A and B are shown apart, each in its own frame.
Chain A
Amino acid sequence: MLGTGIIKGMVETARNFVGSYTDKERLTTVEYPEERIPAKENARQFPFLVFDGEDPQAGLRCVACQICEKECPPQCILIVKDTTKKPDYMGKMQFQPKVFDIDISVCMSCQICVEVCPFEAIKMDTEFELSRGDRFGGLLVNKTGLAKSNAHYRRIHPAEAAEVDSRLAAEKAKAEAKAKAAAAAAAPAPATADVSKK
């Protein structure tokens, strides 16, 4: 009760006060709109659909398996399968989504859709400046809005994207080697191959 603690505290705050003017390291504030820090690699905001190649819709990796739709805890994904098929990265014919909507007002950024997707088709974006002037517009994001290129994925999550790319390339190479072997084996007797396929 003699006040020595008060003096000690006052000295400490005075040191902070002076230090904040002389030592830039002390100020942790980032004055956001003018200056920004690069996004952290593990940041996640909202899912997007990865596409390969040039055409966003033709190159979508999504095969409309609807696993993410079923696993999504807040049920914010709506997928409608298309009747037509298109080839995937290995050249195999797969279904494609006719409708792929995510309700951004329901999504809770949990990343479960990303974890359950067997096709590396849905990933988390780091974009966070999603505010708009109107109240309800832009809350439902459709297939066009969700499609973002693999290059974008590589840019925002470099380490993760490199791992995914190398795995997909290895799978593709394996499949091609298998197809080549199968073609070599099947060449003398095409009829039997047809039977085995059925």
Chain B
Amino acid sequence: MMDWIREFLGMLWKTVSDQPDPKAAFLPLIPEEWRSETSVLLSIAPLMMIFPALFALTTVVERKGLGRIQNRLGPNRVGPAGFLQFAADGLKTLTKEDIVPRAADQLVHFLAPLALVVPVFLTFSVLPFGRHLVPLDLESGLLFFFAIGAATELSVFMAGWASRNKYSLLGALRAVAQMVSYEIPLILSALTVVMATGTLSLPQIVDAQAAGNGEWLARWHVFTPWGFFGFALFLVAACAEANRAPFDLPEGESEIIAGYYLEYSGFKFALFFLGEYLGLFAACGLGITLFLGGWHAPLPILERWIPSYAWFFAKLAALIGLFIWVRGTLPRVRMDQLMNLAWKFMLPLALVNLLAVALWHFLPNPLARWAASSILLAGAYVGLGRALMPPSRIGKRVYRYAPQDSR
């Protein structure tokens, strides 16, 4: 028994101190037939604990941050400085009555929140959180991520359809249209990294962004023109994929009340809320892995003292902060603006970005490739932006019936 506890603590220490294969000493103590199950459980448990905890913290920080942006105080009653607000909210949703409409498709209505949360948790399984912290090192992890991530669209439509409510259905249709549209720029911007690194495996993509021998700056993809551009496209598309402001049309409380989760109450509603935020975290995690160097520090010298996963979570926190900031700033876009942005602006730019990566890859001279891809991307951005700018319709007011000089 003492052995067991000692090895368990040793495993925790190895994980925290960034050492390879923390499970190696602990697993042999488990009976042979339970070994693989225990290994899986040990990989899953931290994910199931850390990300919901992060979600709880994010809800409070978001409400406080939005409050400060609007010159309010934000929640400050429950616990120290209001940071236990999530506990009050969680208890509230747990004790609320679970109402299912009589006309609803009972089974699908019940399954929809699960069908959202389970795939979102699965997407976390391929992300490299630290130097040795990859739950599932798949050869084509990026493909797995997008394949599983697309399943959330199904759950959204399940919720909207099964509720038997016109607002739910409208919200679901909006959500599906939006998610399908933004999936394309999302995948095309991620594809640039695949083109540059030549692999679909996420740990290998992270390795490709490490600093070379004797270099003082890491080779994050975001430090290249195409990477910077791709990262911006990725963030916008991820924001739309996660149904977050300014792309939260599927919720649209002013016109379609709450969209597809209108008929959900109690803990099922909380599950949708959780799924949405976890989806955002997963998208941020993928963005970090693809463009921000994964668990690498910006300066390799810093990696000696600060563990790798701390860098990952610091970047994640920064991205979440950015999304909260954007939510506090931008008003919701209109449906036609949303579609125009995806199909007329982001899709062509994502295609141009692919060309820029190709240029980057095939031009040998570093100066030439910097210049070529920067000029290409800046030209495409400015040109397309100017071309799509709606013509200004503000002019002198013309009256149809009143005499022209009536004033």
Contacts and interface: CB of A to CB of B under 8 A. Distances in A.
B68 A1 contact: no
A2 B379 CA distance: 12
Contacts of B385: 1-3
Q: How large, as a class, is the contact surface on chain A? A: 10 to 19
Contact of A31 (B69, B73, B381): B73
Given A1-B389, A2-B381, A21-B68, A9 B73 contact: no
A2 B328 contact: no
B386 interface: yes
B329 A29 contact: no
Contacts of A16: 68-71
Contacts of B65: 17
Interface string A10-40: 1011101101110000111101000000000
B73 A29 contact: yes
B72 A6 contact: no
B245 to A, nearest CB: 12
B70 A10 contact: no
A29 B72 contact: yes
B325 A10 contact: yes
A37 to B, nearest CB: 16
B347 to A, nearest CB: 14
Given A6-B330, A10-B325, A26 B388 contact: no
A157 B308 CA distance: 67
Contacts of A26: 71
Nearest to B382: A2
Given A1-B385, A1-B388, A2-B381, A13 B72 contact: no
Contact of B325 (A3, A14, A19, A21): A14
Contacts of B72: 20, 27, 29
A70 B381 CA distance: 73
Interface residues of B, number: 20
Nearest to B77: A31
A31 B75 CA distance: 11
A139 B405 CA distance: 62
Contacts of B326: 10
Contact of B330 (A9, A27, A29): A9
B328 A19 contact: no
B330 A19 contact: no
Nearest to A10: B329
A2 B378 CA distance: 11
Contact of B329 (A3, A6, A21, A28): A6
A20 B72 CA distance: 8
Contacts of A9: 329-330
Contacts of A10: 325-326, 329
A154 to B, nearest CB: 36
B390 to A, nearest CB: 8
B73 A27 contact: yes
Contacts of B386: 1-2
B74 to A, nearest CB: 9
Interface of B: 65, 68-73, 325-326, 328-330, 345, 381-382, 384-386, 388-389
25 contacts: A1-B345, A1-B384, A1-B386, A1-B388, A2-B382, A2-B385, A3-B385, A9-B329, A12-B329, A13-B325, A13-B329, A14-B325, A16-B69, A16-B71, A17-B325, A17-B328, A20-B71, A20-B72, A21-B68, A26-B71, A27-B72, A27-B73, A29-B72, A29-B73, A31-B73
Given A9-B329, A27-B71, 10 more contacts: A2-B381, A10-B325, A10-B329, A12-B329, A14-B325, A17-B69, A17-B328, A19-B71, A21-B68, A27-B72
